[in-house]
Structure 1
């Protein structure tokens, strides 16, 4: 269990806080003594999460609609004070062959994973810029640096999140606002249900991503990769010839883990939920 740190308490809003990485991040930050609010489109689950975590500021949030996002942040500031940190965490990850992906599923990924991040970043900037202080953390992925077969649209959104955040970071570098990305490897949440992961590489646990996010808040930098091994491999792969990278993908199984090797029965509950919300 973590404990309160010596860092000043901050007002922190987390999107997609009902489960997975968002839930664990809220838990980590609450235990460190920060003032935390969580939002999610799943109203029943977000209320239960708030009860479990002892969080009093909780609300319905559809990140794809700016008005919903604005209302959520208004509520956070009314109840907890000026927003210090926004963690844009909400995201979905369908798998499968690109040519078979339903258009509605494609659109949903772009709306949640990318537009939600852009909307949230803009709204947070509007609040933070007059104070010349604040931190926006956008949850990306190592799949936003290294393409993965079976995740074409997901990779596209995460590549875009990294590009957007890096450009905005440069744009506002003299403003007093920090912008960062967290780049997890595949993490043991519902997003990877029914998949086995890469051979020889363990998936991250959501608690690891939560700790990395908390440390990024307390010691700001442009980005953090999690896990260290997976992050190091992704960084190194940028200097490897394409044919070698493809061969390594075959050895690790990443060329099929989100395609032919997926257990669709085990994955169905997750797929039903993201299609219906």
Structure 2
């Protein structure tokens, strides 16, 4: 039976992934910086739940030692939004610490365990934001671009070792991260269960990268070839040029307080 450790799994995509894997018979270990929420999620799913600060090596080491996973899903992440000049230095440091260094640390610690035995899988939850820069999302864009590049470079480094390293790039997903924002025009957000299903499929059949929803894969790959004028026209067409600048601050207050606590 496969054992899967998931970071940031007390809510959102992480919790949905834990639920989907448990339904398929996997042993799941939930890690989250919110220990009370992790315990509640663990009780709901009948899964082991542990406190985890992904920015702290000792905490991450203890988590992996206790979980002994075949698969690590690096899911923990935060998303500050707004004009880049209004983002605080503290938010910038926290975003990179959790989203980038947390993923790097987890990947390195997992590989230390997986490479000697010649098997294992590290799945890093990135984002379409890592390949599609968007006004009002500069910090998050930068962090997820780093995750995409780090994951691919690491995958190439351990190629043929028996260990897989993959990235998942979801588009807008209905979690706390998008609180107070609206969906792109003419599009619907992912449900966390849809992203979870993609993770489950990726574990079953490892691939370098998957986009959720899959129908956006071609657009993502071709988008880099578009001229700037076309990119700007597309952004205006879907409202992406203002989506993270014109939002409801009061609706994000609880989320912002939690990620800055």
TM-score of the pair, normalised by structure 2 = 0.98
Contact preservation (8 Å) 2:173, 2:190: yes
Partner of 1:25: 17
Contact preservation (8 Å) 1:86, 1:136: yes
Structure 1 residue 215 displacement after superposition: 0.3
Q: Could you give the per-residue CA deviations for residues 113-170 of structure 1, whole angstroms, max 9, x where no partner exists? A: 0000000000000000110000000000011111111110101111100100100111
Partner of 1:163: 149
Structure 1 residue 238 displacement after superposition: 1.9
- Give the Cα separation in 2 of the matches to 1:30 and 1:232: 31
Q: Could you give the per-residue CA deviations for residues 29-83 of structure 1, whole angstroms, max 9, x where no partner exists? A: 000001110100001111111111111x211000001110000111112xxxxx2
Q: 1:269 and 2:261 equivalent?
A: no
Equivalences for residues 24-103 of structure 1 within 5 A: 24-55=16-47, 57-77=48-68, 83-103=69-89
1:92 aligns to what SS in structure 2?
coil
Equivalences for residues 212-251 of structure 1 within 5 A: 212-251=198-237
2:6 aligns to what SS in structure 1?
strand
1:62 aligns to what SS in structure 2?
coil
Contact preservation (8 Å) 2:41, 2:49: no
Structure 1 residue 176 displacement after superposition: 0.8
- Give the Cα separation in 1 of the matches to 2:218 and 2:97: 30
Structure 1 residue 232 displacement after superposition: 3.3
Q: Structure 2 unaligned segments of length 5 or more: list them.
A: none
Report the RMSD for the aligned CA atoms in angstroms.
0.9
Contact preservation (8 Å) 1:138, 1:182: yes
- Give the Cα separation in 1 of the matches to 2:115 and 2:148: 21
1:94 aligns to what SS in structure 2?
coil
Q: How many residues align?
A: 261
- Give the Cα separation in 2 of the matches to 1:236 and 1:174: 29
Q: 1:140 and 2:140 equivalent?
A: no
Partner of 1:186: 172
2:29 aligns to what SS in structure 1?
strand
Q: Could you give the per-residue CA deviations for residues 66-105 of structure 1, whole angstroms, max 9, x where no partner exists? A: 110000111112xxxxx21000000000100011101111
Contact preservation (8 Å) 2:81, 2:137: yes
Partner of 1:207: 193
2:188 aligns to what SS in structure 1?
coil
Contact preservation (8 Å) 2:123, 2:166: yes
1:188 aligns to what SS in structure 2?
coil
Partner of 1:120: 106
Q: Structure 1 unaligned segments of length 5 or more: list them.
A: 1-8, 78-82
TM-score of the pair, normalised by structure 1 = 0.93
Structure 1 residue 234 displacement after superposition: 2.3
